[in-house]
């Protein structure tokens, strides 16, 4: 069953999949990996690739962003109602001229932000389904498909300019929902994995917010908290702890050497592990002079 990311997410890995796929551990192909973990889930491009292609039995997906995980949980449990709501948004939006579309976008954004204070007190409820529909609508119609929150947790991305945005991709959502029946979803900090993973027949792909290449290029606002160098160091510790348990690990990050050849931050943090480069066309975090091809790092604890 083919399914693909249903949401646009900064740092999404769809473009890099071809290069990443050849770096997966050979145990995945051989069928020895039974458990897959992705603790910085975002749009989940690598998760979809793996669940579509390999005989893994259990999937554990998490992200610190509770709004994002809410959408996954609604797709997992209430996809039919979600589809009805998105169908209504699609119809309404398609029938409007540009000015009215803008006004409609801001109306939905207002509703989305207004209901945020009590939504996470409840378990899956009709309010969640509406919230998931609003988030997908905003993601498909906002500027660049960004998800960015202000300090108070309000979604603040402006309206985008699209001729015919696909607000509802029904068959993909149905496929995603079927696949998610086999998945465990959680709101969690990545370090939770240290306690959770017990068996070595596991593979973890880490795709944290990238370390900014320069102070001005920082895009760290996926959630209310930012991901600074202290967080990167904490992550390298988690990597080391899981490595000691014999778990296969792969991790992406930016390559500081694009702008400063003397910056050995990752060589220091991942000493003793394999560090390779892949080339990417960066959209976010890009240094203006370097737009186009740029290298990124890929750390693994296997050959």
Ligand X SMILES: C[S@@+](CC[C@H](N)C(=O)[O-])C[C@H]1O[C@@H](n2cnc3c(N)ncnc32)[C@H](O)[C@@H]1O
Q: Does 64 bind ligand X (CB under 6 A)?
A: yes
Please give the size of the binding site for ligand X, defined by CB under 6 A. Answer: 21
Nearest approach in angstroms of CB 120 to ligand X is 15
Stretch that binds ligand X, among 58-66, 111-119, 123-131, 138-146 (CB under 6 A): 58-66
Count CB atoms within 10 A of the CB of residue 29. Answer: 12
Nearer to ligand X, 71 or 108 (CB): 71
Q: Does 255 bind ligand X (CB under 6 A)?
A: no
In this chain, which of 65, 175, 254, 258 binds ligand X, going by CB under 6 A? 65
**Separation CA 203–CA 116 (nearest Å):** 34
Stretch that binds ligand X, among 40-48, 96-104, 243-251, 288-296 (CB under 6 A): 40-48
Q: Secondary structure of the chain in the HEC alphabet?
A: CCCCCCCCCCCCCHHHHHHHHCCCCHHHHCCCCCEEEECCCCCCHHHHHHHHHCCCCEEEEEECCHHHHHHHHHHHHCHHHHHHHHHHHHHHHHCCCHHHHHHHHHHHHHHHHHCCCCHHHCCCCHHHHHHHHHHHHHHHHEHHHCCCECCCCCECCCECCCCCCCCCCHHHHHHHHHHHCCEEEEECCHHHHHHHCCCCCEEEEECCCCCCCCHHHCCCCCCCCCCCHHHHHHHHHHHHHHHHCCCEEEEEEECHHHCCCCCCHHHHHCCCCEEEEEEEECCCCCCHHHCCEEEEEEEECCC
Q: Does 45 bind ligand X (CB under 6 A)?
A: yes
Nearest approach in angstroms of CB 123 to ligand X is 21
In this chain, which of 6, 12, 221, 296 binds ligand X, going by CB under 6 A? 12
Q: Does 222 bind ligand X (CB under 6 A)?
A: yes
Binders of ligand X among 131-150, rule CB under 6 A?
Answer: none
In this chain, which of 20, 33, 39, 72 binds ligand X, going by CB under 6 A? 39
Stretch that binds ligand X, among 59-67, 132-140, 158-166, 237-245 (CB under 6 A): 59-67
Stretch that binds ligand X, among 42-50, 71-79, 93-101, 133-141 (CB under 6 A): 42-50
**Separation CA 128–CA 87 (nearest Å):** 17
Nearer to ligand X, 223 or 269 (CB): 223
Q: Does 43 bind ligand X (CB under 6 A)?
A: yes
Nearest approach in angstroms of CB 14 to ligand X is 7
Residues 79 and 179 sit within 8 Å (Cβ to Cβ):
no
Nearest approach in angstroms of CB 190 to ligand X is 4
Q: Does 219 bind ligand X (CB under 6 A)?
A: no
In this chain, which of 6, 24, 36, 40 binds ligand X, going by CB under 6 A? 40
Backbone phi and psi for residue 254, each to the nearest 5 degrees, phi listed first: -75, 165
Give the binding site for ligand X (CB under 6 A).
9, 11-13, 39-40, 42-45, 63-65, 189-190, 207-209, 222-223, 227
């Amino acid at each position: 069953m083919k399914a693909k990311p249903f949401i646009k997410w900064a740092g999404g890995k769809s473009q890099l999949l071809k290069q990443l796929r050849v770096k997966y551990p050979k145990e995945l192909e051989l069928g020895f990996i039974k458990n897959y973990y992705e603790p910085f889930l975002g749009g989940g491009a690598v998760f979809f690739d793996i669940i579509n292609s390999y005989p893994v039995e259990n999937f554990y997906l998490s992200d610190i962003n509770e709004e994002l995980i809410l959408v996954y949980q609604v797709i997992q449990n209430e996809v039919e109602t979600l589809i009805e709501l998105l169908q209504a948004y699609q119809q309404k939006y398609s029938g409007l001229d540009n000015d009215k579309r803008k006004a409609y976008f801001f109306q939905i954004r207002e509703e989305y932000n207004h209901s945020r204070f009590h939504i996470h007190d409840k378990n899956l409820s009709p309010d969640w389904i509406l919230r998931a529909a609003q988030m997908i609508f905003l993601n498909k119609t906002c500027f660049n498909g960004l998800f960015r929150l202000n300090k108070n947790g309000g979604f603040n991305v402006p309206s985008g300019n699209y001729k015919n945005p696909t607000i509802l991709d029904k068959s993909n959502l149905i496929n995603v929902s079927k696949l998610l029946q086999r998945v465990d979803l959680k709101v969690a900090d990545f370090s939770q994995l240290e306690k959770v993973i017990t068996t070595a027949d596991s593979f973890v792909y880490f795709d944290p917010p990238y370390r900014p290449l320069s102070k001005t290029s920082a895009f760290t606002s996926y959630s209310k908290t930012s991901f600074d160098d202290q967080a990167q160091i904490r992550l390298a510790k988690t990597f080391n702890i899981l490595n000691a348990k014999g778990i296969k690990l792969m991790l992406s990050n930016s390559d500081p050497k694009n702008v400063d050849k003397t910056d050995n931050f990752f060589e220091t943090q991942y000493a003793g592990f394999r560090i390779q480069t892949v080339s990417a066309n960066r959209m976010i975090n890009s240094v203006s002079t370097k737009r186009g091809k740029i290298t990124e790092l890929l750390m693994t604890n296997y050959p």
